Amino acid sequence: MPSESRAHGGGSSPRKPRLTVLSGPSGVGKSTVVAELRRSHPEVWLSVSVTTRKPRPGERHGVEYYFVDDAEFDRMIASGELLEWAEFAGHRYGTPRTPVLQRLAAGVPALLEIDLQGARQVRAAMPDALLVFLAPPSWEELERRLRGRGTEPADVIERRLQAGRIEMAAEKEFDVTLVNTDVKDVCRRLIALMTNSPS
């Protein structure tokens, strides 16, 4: 089944590079899409988030995330260094502001992968941003992916599933939906959206 995109009639299509935000429910495949983008489109600049959660196997400091403790995260909030931040499943995640603004000022398209609370903060702070909702082919498939990832204990998975039901309802706040059926297809469509070229 091919992936599908649904435009919501929201965002404008300026020619200048703008911030693109990839969000969606936990387990839908955001990190998988971003990992594929790193491989297939190394020229795309991806924001590296700060998090207080512990690294999963294979995650490297400064590549997938900056791993910091609670005190350092508190300091970054207090000094206004974060464009957005959110708490999720007991951990905090945030986007360092300066690197994003620098890329946009230099005319380089920038991509953020963040949760829904963060996406709402970016919408408020940068109304020009293009918000992309990554949706699962079905709720059953989302549940299967979340359980199948095997990186979290059962109680965390249950919390993420509960949150997922609410997260799915946020789709209408986004400019466009990409259904994550095929990862490479999602990447292709995402690049087309970021560069304003037809997909």
Among 38, 91, 149, 188, binds ligand ADP (CB under 6 A): 149
Order of strands, edge to edge, in the sheet holding 110-113? 5-7, 176-179, 130-135, 19-23, 110-113, 45-46
Among 19, 22, 30, 187, binds ligand ADP (CB under 6 A): 30
26 labelled binding-site residue: yes
Give dist(CA 92, CA 117) in Å, integer: 11
- Residue 183 binding target from ligand ADP, Mg ion, none, CB below 5 to 8 Å by type: ligand ADP
24 labelled binding-site residue: yes
Q: Is 183 among the residues that bind ligand ADP (CB under 6 A)?
A: yes
Give dist(CA 103, CA 159) in Å, integer: 35
Q: Measure Cα distances from 164 to 4, 8, 135, 140, 180 in Å.
A: 20, 21, 11, 12, 15
Stretch touching ligand ADP by CB under 6 A, among 13-21, 47-55, 145-153, 168-176: 145-153
Q: Is 57 among the residues that bind ligand ADP (CB under 6 A)?
A: no
Q: Radius of gyration (Cα) for the chain, nearest Å?
A: 16
Q: Measure Cα distances from 118 to 16, 49, 136 in Å.
A: 23, 11, 20
Q: Is 148 among the residues that bind ligand ADP (CB under 6 A)?
A: yes
30 labelled binding-site residue: yes
User: Cβ 21 to ligand ADP, closest distance in Å?
Assistant: 13
164 labelled binding-site residue: no
Enter the tokens of residue 116. 């829904």
Count the Cβ atoms, other than its own, within 10 Å of residue 97: 16
Which of positions 7-36 make contact with Mg ion (CB under 5 A)? Answer: 30-31
**Residue numbers of the site for ligand ADP (CB under 6 A)?**
26-32, 145, 148-149, 180-183
Known binding positions for ATP: 24-31
